[in-house]
Homo-oligomer: A and B are copies of this chain.
């Protein structure tokens, strides 16, 4: 908490920068921005705890305003925490030190679509689904569709180094981000130019991708675009166990075939998510696949992938489960279904491992979870 004199100074100075209508000290705004999708926040609320709040929220509209806010934070020695969509699951946007919360939601414009280079430049506060729909209208896709797409924003994708559900074909956010504009903590603005790549020293934008707001405020980004695929096909393959499913995935990807979607559900997940709508047996592991691109290429990749799955002992479920997942892929996150059950809390965590360790990691995670009665 800042003292009342400092707060008064902040109100005056920040109003001068963004206008009086674009700062807030209201309790309801503070509470709204005091949690993201971090399950521990939910647990604390249920336990009757008050979450730490900011002293003042500022909603800038331009990069220049962000820069001036950072200068004020420095000059007054007040902590500052940036917040975008507030869809993160690790608490990265929470104002645990109080002070200023820099809310980027007003910076939500699509600035430029380059139809030659297939890139889009947008402000960091744009919500993912709005960016995706804006480029869809021109026949493009960003290729970045995390489950949180309706609640998260562009700056957050980059600040958290996020991966989407089609990253096996289109790439993760670090592959999709061509250029960045960042306001450094002292208010200086730097631009990492939107280039396909370069070899003029290290690629500085990678310092900010994944920096969770600690090294600067991402205000603008230029992202790759892809043509909306001429064809997208879905295929579902049901394996007798995780081992055979992973074996098939490894063979598909290592042979140079890149489906746009590759999701293997373990027996628990298959029972919870798939068995409601499709007839599966206990222990079954459903693999959801999708293929994007030119029709002939899609057909070929689907055929090769299906052959590999069958060789690894899968039963062919056609497009059903995979297509159903696709149609409901954003449902869980927002409006949230995570926390509706009174006595349970849902969490999500991404784990990465090379193939030599992947199955061990899976079994270890499962054992660790089960040791705490988690499903």
Contacts and interface: CB of A to CB of B under 8 A. Distances in A.
Contacts of A200: 210
A352 interface: yes
A126 to B, nearest CB: 21
A199 B350 CA distance: 9
A196 B198 CA distance: 21
B356 A114 contact: yes
Nearest to A253: B118
Describe A's contact surface by its main secondary structure. loop
A297 B294 contact: no
Contact of A199 (B210, B353, B356): B210
A4 interface: no
Contact of A355 (B117, B172, B292): B117
Contacts of A226: 254, 256
Contact of A210 (B119, B178, B202, B210): B202
Given A116-B356, A202-B206, A207-B207, A174 B160 contact: no
A304 B296 contact: yes
A229 interface: yes
A97 B171 CA distance: 42
A201 interface: yes
Contact of A255 (B196, B293, B350): B293
A232 to B, nearest CB: 12
A199 B256 contact: no
Contacts of A293: 255-256
A71 B177 CA distance: 38
A209 interface: yes
Nearest to A196: B352
B354 A194 contact: yes
A300 B304 contact: no
Given A117-B354, A226-B256, 10 more contacts: A114-B354, A118-B254, A119-B354, A161-B197, A161-B202, A195-B354, A197-B352, A202-B209, A202-B215, A297-B297
16 contacts: A117-B357, A161-B203, A162-B199, A178-B354, A195-B353, A196-B354, A197-B352, A202-B208, A202-B209, A202-B211, A203-B206, A203-B209, A207-B207, A256-B294, A257-B294, A297-B301
Interface of A: 114, 116-119, 160-163, 172, 174, 178, 194-203, 206-212, 215, 226-227, 229, 250, 254-257, 292-294, 296-297, 300-301, 304, 350, 352-357
- Report, nearest first, the 8 A-B pairs whose CB atoms are least far apart: A206-B206, A117-B354, A161-B199, A116-B356, A256-B293, A117-B355, A202-B210, A116-B355
